[in-house]
C-alpha cells in the first residue's frame, strides 16, 4: 500500500495502542486525525505529534465513541482539513467487568457506530475513494475468557461485525475492506499491575508485547491483500498463532 498523503482516523488514540498506530502511520507519510474521550490527553498527544510530524499532517478531536454527534464531527473535521479518508481504526476500548454496560457501549456500540460512519465515508458511490476499516478486537474475541466474560462478548461482537460488513456486496463493489486485530496482552495502561498479577496466575509468567508489535501487525493488515473480513492474531505467547489470520471460515 502506498501510504503517502493517505488519511487515517483513529479513535482512543491519546495513548497506548492508538497513539502507537498514529505515530507509525505519520512516520510513513500519512495524515492522521486522532480522537479520544480524554480532552487533556488528546490535546497533549495531538500537539506533540504535530510538532514532530508537522501541523499540516495532524489534527485531534475530542470524541466519546458512544456519542454519535461527536463521532460524526470527527469525520467532518477530517474531511474539511484533509479532503479525504482512507483508513479508519476503531481502537477505543475499555475493560471493566463491574461496569459491564460501559464495556458493551464503548467496545461494541462504539465499534458499530464507527464502522457504519467509516463505510459511508469510504464507499466510492458516496464520494469516497474506497479504503480499509480496522476494528480493534482481542484474542478474547476469538477465544473465551472466563475472567472477562463481558469484555470477551463485546470483542466477539466486534469480530462478527467486521466479518458481516466484509460480506456486504455493496461494500465490495465500492472498494471498502473490513478487518480486525486480535491481540493478546500489550504493554499499555490498560494492563495495570493488578491485571498483570492476575494474568500471571491464569496464563503464566509471559512478558507483555510492546506496542511496536501492534504497529507491525497493523502494517501487515494494511499491506496484505485478500484479507477482507479477516482477524489477525497478535500473540507471541503462542508462536503457532502469532501474526496469523484466525481460521474462522
Ligand atoms: N492492552 C492490551 O493488552 C489489549 C488491548 N486491546 C484493545 O486495544 C484497544 C486499545 O487499548 P489500549 O491502548 O491497551 O488501552 P488504553 O487504556 O491505554 O487506551 C485506550 C484509550 O481509549 C480511550 N477511551 C476510553 N473510552 C473511550 C470512549 N468512550 N471514547 C473514546 N475514547 C475512549 C482512553 O481515553 C484511552 O486513551 C482497546 O480496544 C482494547 O480493548 C486488545 C487486546 C489487548
Ligand atoms: C485478567 C486477564 C488479563 C489477561 C491479559 C491477556 C490478554 C489481554 C487481552 C485483552 O484484550 C486485554 C483485556 C483485558 C485486560 C485488561 C483489564 C482487565 C480489567 C478487568 C476488570 O476491571 O474487570
Q: Which ligand approaches the C-alpha of residue 237 most closely?
A: 2
Closest CA to 19 of 72, 57, 60: 60
**Is residue 249 predicted with pLDDT exceeding 60?**
no
151 is catalytic: yes
The ipTM (two decimal places) reads 0.97
Residue whose CA is at the smallest distance from ligand 2 atom 20: 96
For 66-73, the CB contacts below 8 A with 24+ separation are: 66/105, 66/106, 66/109, 66/110, 66/113, 68/113, 71/113, 71/114, 71/117, 72/117
The domains located in the chain, with CATH, are 7-246 (3.40.50.720)
At 203, is the pLDDT very low, low, confident or very high (cuts 50, 70, 90)? confident
Average pLDDT across the chain, whole number: 97
pTM for the model stands at 0.98
At 248, is the pLDDT very low, low, confident or very high (cuts 50, 70, 90)? low
At 149-172, the pLDDT tens digits run 999 999 999 999 999 999 999 999
Ligand 2 pocket member 94 (CB < 6 A): no
**Is residue 141 predicted with pLDDT exceeding 80?**
yes
At 76-124, the pLDDT tens digits run 999 999 999 999 999 999 999 999 999 999 999 999 999 999 999 999 9
Ligand 1 pocket member 136 (CB < 6 A): yes
Amino acid at each position: 500500500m502506498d501510504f503517502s498523503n493517505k488519511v487515517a482516523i483513529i479513535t482512543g488514540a491519546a495513548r497506548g495502542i492508538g497513539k502507537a498506530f498514529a505515530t507509525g502511520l505519520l512516520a510513513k507519510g500519512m495524515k492522521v486525525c486522532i480522537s479520544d474521550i480524554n480532552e487533556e490527553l488528546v490535546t497533549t498527544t495531538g500537539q506533540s505529534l504535530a510538532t514532530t510530524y508537522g501541523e499540516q499532517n495532524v489534527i485531534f478531536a475530542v470524541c466519546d465513541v458512544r456519542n454519535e454527534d461527536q463521532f460524526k464531527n470527527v469525520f467532518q473535521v477530517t474531511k474539511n482539513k484533509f479532503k479525504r479518508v482512507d483508513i479508519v481504526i476503531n481502537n477505543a476500548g475499555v475493560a471493566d467487568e463491574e461496569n459491564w454496560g460501559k464495556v458493551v457501549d464503548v467496545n461494541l456500540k462504539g465499534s458499530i457506530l464507527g464502522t457504519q460512519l467509516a463505510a459511508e465515508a469510504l464507499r466510492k458511490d458516496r464520494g469516497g475513494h474506497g479504503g480499509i476499516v480496522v476494528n480493534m478486537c482481542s484474542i478474547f474475541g476469538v477465544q473465551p475468557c472466563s475472567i472477562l466474560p463481558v469484555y470477551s462478548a463485546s470483542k466477539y461482537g466486534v469480530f462478527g461485525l467486521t466479518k458481516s460488513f466484509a460480506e456486504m456486496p455493496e461494500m465490495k463493489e465500492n472498494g471498502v475492506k473490513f478487518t480486525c486485530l486480535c491481540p493478546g496482552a500489550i504493554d499499555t495502561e490498560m494492563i495495570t499491575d493488578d491485571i498483570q498479577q492476575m494474568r500471571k496466575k491464569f496464563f503464566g509468567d509471559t512478558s507483555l508485547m510492546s506496542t511496536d508489535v501492534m504497529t507491525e501487525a497493523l502494517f501487515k493488515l494494511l499491506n496484505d491483500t485478500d484479507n477482507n473480513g479477516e482477524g489477525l492474531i497478535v500473540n507471541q505467547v503462542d508462536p503457532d498463532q502469532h501474526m496469523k489470520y484466525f481460521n474462522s471460515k
